[in-house]
Amino acid sequence: MQPHSWIEISQGALRHNVRLLRQVVGKGVLLAPCVKANAYGHGLLPASRLLLSAGADWLSVHCVEEALLLREAKVTAPILVLGPLLASEHQAASRLQVRLMLGDLDRIPALAAVGSAKQPLAVHLKVDTGMSRQGIAIADVREREQLR
């Protein structure tokens, strides 16, 4: 029986798209394409290698497990973990030298305890700028900034 639907990815078109994005945003802007969920079903490792070879700077994944798969495959590019982390994953994130998207300021002390002067844990704050979907409310960020 033939499948009713399928998808084919053109490697040439994907390379072209990365090069085009690079031209549009310029050299000073980092490109971090999402390869989460097995690169949306297209293969985490082949898609990641192709995107990096075409000019992507970083890779974005959903979880530490995906970052581990990339590191085990010798991918050395920076990796940004977009999804939430369990406390039990903090050490692995540090060991893998990934960057974490943080949408909750209350998690900072636990993450700070994991990082060290030799191997700091890079954290990117996700700020909700108005869509009310995810991230730290801008008012909370401003309030914490004033407390310093």
Rounded to two decimals, the pTM is 0.85
Residue 141 has what pLDDT? Answer: 76
- Out of 3-7, 43-47, 103-107, 139-143, the most confident range is 43-47
Residue 24 has what pLDDT? Answer: 95
Assess whether pLDDT exceeds 80 at residue 132: no
Assess whether pLDDT exceeds 70 at residue 145: no
Residue 96 has what pLDDT? Answer: 94
Contact between 18 and 55 (Cβ < 8 Å)? yes
Average pLDDT over residues 14-42: 93
Query: Exposed e or buried b for every residue in 23-41, given b needs 16+ CB within 10 A?
Result: eeeeeeeebbbebbeebee
Which has the closest alpha carbon to 58: 94, 29, 38?
29
The number of residues making up the chain comes to: 148
Query: What are φ and ψ of residue 147, in 5° steps?
Result: -75, -15
CA–CA gap between residue 100 and residue 82 (Å, rounded):
7
Tell me the pLDDT tens digit for each residue of 66-123.
999 999 999 999 999 999 888 889 889 999 999 999 888 888 888 888 866 677 788 8
